[in-house]
Amino acid sequence: MTLHLKYDLSQTYKSVIEFVLKNLSIDYYLVNLNEIRLKEALDLAQKVELQEQLSLFNISIVDDQKLSLVQRVKLLINFYLEHKEVQTKNVSDYLSEELDYSYAYLSSLFSEATYSSIESFIILRRVEMAKDLLLKTDKSLTEIAFDLNYSSVAHLSSQFKKTTGLTPSAFQRIIQKRNSINPN
């Protein structure tokens, strides 16, 4: 049996953070998706317990402010790609405005921390989203290209093949064959 789930990633994240902090009786203010202001400093035992609880959800405390900013860039890119209403701006302007840093600084910091460019990260995320849509919907490649804001089906297909080594249709055939062999 397969269950298909719908969720808002940012809301899910906020709910997890609120759940953990309330269970540990920690007073806080959620600044943004990856920044929390605590009303009181934590002692070592509290910090260890908080990290242990967050790690159950694959969330970790980042002590390095630059790494935290890179994480915020990733979260904002995911939000940007998932919400058409913010795609009226180009991604560089969106990131600069949301984070109050120049795009050149953000790009340099991102590359230094991840050994990849913001543009490459965006391409990888869009291809992952295309793979999810191919797997979980009956949408045509044209519809998927439109949904993901590609200029054309050829552009989507080209990036898909460069990233995965397969064309989107070859990817679909492999998945369909795998599902027919293993119909879980």
How does DSSP classify residue 39?
Answer: S
Per residue in 105-154, pLDDT (tens digit) is 999 999 998 999 999 999 999 999 999 999 888 898 999 999 998 999 99
Rounded CA-CA distance 106/162 in Å is 25
pTM of the predicted protein model: 0.68
Please report which confidence band the pLDDT of residue 63 belongs to, taking 50, 70 and 90 as the band edges.
low
Residues 6 or more apart whose CB falls under 8 angstroms from that of 29 comprise 36, 37, 39
Q: Using CA atoms, how far apart are residues 182 and 143, in angstroms rounded to an integer?
A: 28
What is d(CA 106, CA 95) in angstroms, rounded to the nearest whole number? Answer: 8
Q: What secondary structure letter does DSSP report for 43?
A: P
List, for residues 7-56, the tens digit of each pLDDT value: 777 788 888 988 999 999 999 888 776 678 888 888 888 888 998 999 89
B/e letters for 1-27, b = 16+ CB within 10 Å, e = fewer, are eeeeeeeeebeebeebbeebbeeeebe
Q: Residue 2, SS3?
A: coil
> Residue 6: pLDDT above 90?
no
Walk me through the domains of the chain, giving residue ranges and CATH numbers. Answer: 9-61 (no CATH), 63-115 (no CATH), 117-184 (1.10.10.60)
- Please determine, for residue 102, whether its predicted confidence score (pLDDT) is greater than 80: yes
Q: Is 1 a residue whose pLDDT tops 80?
A: no
